[in-house]
Structure 1
């Protein structure tokens, strides 16, 4: 599975790490979609590629914006229910959808608008860890 990330994005990450890179947040304060997406595309070596159209970011539920990785990982275990698409979280998460507003742009000039939503998440899992965010289901 590591080969997929290397082939498609030039990164040497396993799928669970790639999921965390794209869909979780490691800071206490949310600095917005433009800042996050600029950081993400830089990490993904996205230079001079078209802007990423949409990306959902799972944030912390309390005062801190930092993602509760234990809660996200739990969706693949007792914190989620099996569905045909993957595993649906039993509890809701604070999610921010980052949508590109200049889809013909290229990195680093990408612009994003953000839509916060409380939602259940549906993930694909591998070895007990999320590897793909399939969808978010607003409450």
Structure 2
């Protein structure tokens, strides 16, 4: 009888653990793809090196990716007071961030991938899960 009453509570706890685990994995992927602070000193081919280092060249070259050069706390804050609601459930930062955008150019979509680098100061637009960014919207520059 005790387990029958505890079933819903146990189910709720498992569901919460699953959701939190999913958010944590998505946030970890977000950081792997979009966070680089301070900006890595990898020589003159920053985008070529970073895209490969971060696993975005296999099996195909990722067409576009941006790296944010700011402390994690400032990026995470976009999901709170440091950002405001944008369209389609996205959030736009209140302040500009230093961002390097890597765009694949010409040739094969397979390795070796070649990228062009563009450094800008711009607002960032992210999708948040809970209090953490899990997606960077590349389409809004």
TM-score (norm 2): 0.72
Shift of 1:26: 4.6
Choose which of 99, 106, 111 in structure 1 pairs with 2:103: 99
Shift of 1:113: 0.9
Q: Do 1:15 and 1:131's aligned partners in 2 also have CA atoms closer than 8 Å?
A: yes
Stretches of 4+ aligned residues off by more than 6 angstroms: none
User: Which sections of structure 2, spanning at least 5 residues, go unmatched?
Assistant: 1-17, 19-23
CA deviation string 1:79-109 (max 9, x = no partner): 00011231100010011110112352313x1
1:113 pairs with 2:116: yes
1:129 pairs with 2:132: yes
Q: Report the structure number with the largest CA radius of gyration.
A: 2
User: Which sections of structure 1, spanning at least 5 residues, go unmatched?
Assistant: 3-12, 60-66
Q: Do 1:123 and 1:135's aligned partners in 2 also have CA atoms closer than 8 Å?
A: no
TM-score (norm 1): 0.73
Q: The residue matched to 1:75 in structure 2 has which SS? A: helix
1:38 pairs with 2:49: no
Between the two proteins, the alignment pairs up a number of residues equal to 115
Q: Do 2:37 and 2:71's aligned partners in 1 also have CA atoms closer than 8 Å?
A: no
* Alpha-carbon distance between aligned partners in 2 of 1:28 and 1:123, rounded to the nearest angstrom: 20
CA deviation string 1:29-72 (max 9, x = no partner): 4431111011012xx6x54x22111101111xxxxxxx310000
